[in-house]
Amino acid sequence: MAEKPIELPPELAARLKAEYVKDWRAELRRNPPVKERMKLPRQPMPQRGAGERGRDFLEVNRGLSPEAAAAEARRCLDCAKPGCVSGCPVSIDIPSFIKLVEKGEFIAAAFKIKETNALPAICGRVCPQESQCEAVCNLKKAAGVPVAIGNLERFVADYERAAGEVALPELPPPTGRKVAVIGAGPAGLTAAGELAKKGHAVTIFEALHEPGGVLIYGIPEFRLPKAILKAEVEYLRRLGVEIRYNFVAGKTAAIDDLKARGYEAFFIGTGAGLPNFMKIPGENLVGVYSANEYLTRVNLMRAYDFPAYDTPVFRAKNAAVIGGGNVAMDSVRTAKRLGAERAMIIYRRSRREMPAREEEVAHAEEEGIEFHFLTVPIRYEGDAYGRLASMTCLRMELGEPDASGRRRPVPVPGSEFTAPVDLVVVAIGQSPNPLLLETMPGLKVGKWGTIEVDPATMASSLPGVYAGGDIIRGGATVILAMGDARTAAASIDAYLKS
């Protein structure tokens, strides 16, 4: 959801201003003038046709060409008070990097982003820009269509990667202080990178056998190619970060055991790995998956390539995905690619309340996904073998606004109907995974199972223990997790130096 644009903190405003007043920026601003810039059309993101991509898992978007990127960058008005930066959870100096793109200095642009965001190739692809930076872009207010900030971020990160080995920042001498990062997801990877850059010895403890967390098990190849994640992790490795796989913190060893091994500070980024179900009849039938299981089988375990890979997944004729977020879009588009004749989104509210990124919804529509709004399943029916055969739903209508400000869906009496389905994916959100938290007495945990932290420092109730991402938020975005991790890394650095 959109973060409200806020007044920029003074140090950030000063940092932006120092760049803004540079001569080259001033000169660039004059030519072409604002009036002409405002007339330039937004550069479309080149993408593979829906027919071509509908049966494979290769990436949909192809990325901007250098010429298109420079042309898009020319649309940026280089505002004195840039709204975009206030919309970015990690306060990227967006005008500076875009103006470097306009000048053709793509590598310098990548460095500019990396001052505050370690994983731009990922954020450029998965951030909900339309509700963050692009939502508060001044060009959007003035001319209706914002600068394609996300597409530009993706472009410079891809350009840098394609240009060869990504340059390492100058590293300070090792401090000899050991920090444990729990979880190799977006938060953990970010925290590890930041701490390594401060000279600390960082080990990431990861439960699965590949790094990335939700980026590897959740987000499909067609939206975030694994090669990009691999490159980012390789960069961390070159920074000196060690990753221990097959390690479930709290089970394989407790936090206290790690303390005994010399780890002085901890960052917990274990995410929201506990799938929610609706608790309706028939939910345990064979053929009903949580989105986590469905996507993990396909993405992490490569079930799309069964039987070359051993892990199977159901290939359905009629697939229904329950939910309206990005995870639901990923699931339904996956089902379609795995051969479903009908792949349907079943969402209890209307289209405008759907939390998914606009681009994902558009791509889903192009690929022939059916959307059934104001519909909610109330039970699933099985065949004689306990396999899912159909679902019974109710139609809804929108009533009064609820706590989230969205109008609450209420059932329409007598609207019950049954439809044949042989695959259901429940994508109605996740809760924080309690596995580690249960083993940490004294750790303050909130009502929804999230770790309670001081939002200014990300410090938990236990000294030396910090947390960020979905384990404190319950279910948010990759970029918010990264923002938390940066804050926590700075706090951990200060803690180790105190």
Partner 1 sequence: MPRIIAQRRLVPNLHLIEVEAPDTARAAKPGQFVILMPDARGERIPLSIADWNAARGTVTSVFLVLGTATRKLALLKSNDEIPVFVGPLGRPTEIANFGTVVLAAGCYGIGALWPTARALRRAGNRVITVLDAKASYLVYWDDRYRRVSERLIVSSRDPGIGGGEYVAEKIKALAAAEKIDRVMAVGCTAFMRSVSEATRPAGIKTIVSLNPIMVDGTGMCGACRCTAAGKTKFACVDGPDFDGHEVDWDELFLRRKSYFDEEIQALCRWEKENLP
Q: Which residues are near partner 1 by CB under 8 A?
A: 207-209, 217, 245-248, 251-253, 273-275, 277, 279, 283-284, 286, 289-290, 292-293, 296-297, 301-302, 306-312, 385-387, 433-435
Which 8-state DSSP code applies to residue 224? S
Residues 6+ apart with CB under 8 A from 405: none
Closest CA to 376 of 352, 404, 412: 412
Nearest distance in Å: CB 430, partner 1 = 9
- CA dist 218 and 300 (Å) reads 8
Taking the least distance from each CB to partner 1, the nearer of 172 and 386 is: 386
Nearest distance in Å: CB 20, partner 1 = 45
Please answer whether residues 223 and 216 qualify as being in contact, where contact means their C-beta atoms are separated by less than 8 angstroms: no
Nearest distance in Å: CB 421, partner 1 = 16
- CA dist 93 and 86 (Å) reads 10
Residues 6+ apart with CB under 8 A from 425: 289, 290, 291, 294, 319, 320, 321, 322, 328, 331, 332, 335
Taking the least distance from each CB to partner 1, the nearer of 277 and 417 is: 277
Taking the least distance from each CB to partner 1, the nearer of 2 and 286 is: 286
Taking the least distance from each CB to partner 1, the nearer of 309 and 417 is: 309
Nearest distance in Å: CB 292, partner 1 = 5
Nearest distance in Å: CB 284, partner 1 = 5
Degrees, nearest 5: CA angle 363-38-97: 70
Taking the least distance from each CB to partner 1, the nearer of 96 and 290 is: 290
Nearest distance in Å: CB 16, partner 1 = 40
Measure Cα distances from 412 to 348, 381, 398 in Å.
12, 21, 10
Taking the least distance from each CB to partner 1, the nearer of 425 and 459 is: 425
Degrees, nearest 5: CA angle 101-61-82: 40
Indicate the SS3 state at residue 390. strand
Nearest distance in Å: CB 450, partner 1 = 16
Taking the least distance from each CB to partner 1, the nearer of 12 and 274 is: 274
Region of 201 please: left (phi>0), alpha (psi -120 to 50) or beta.
Answer: beta
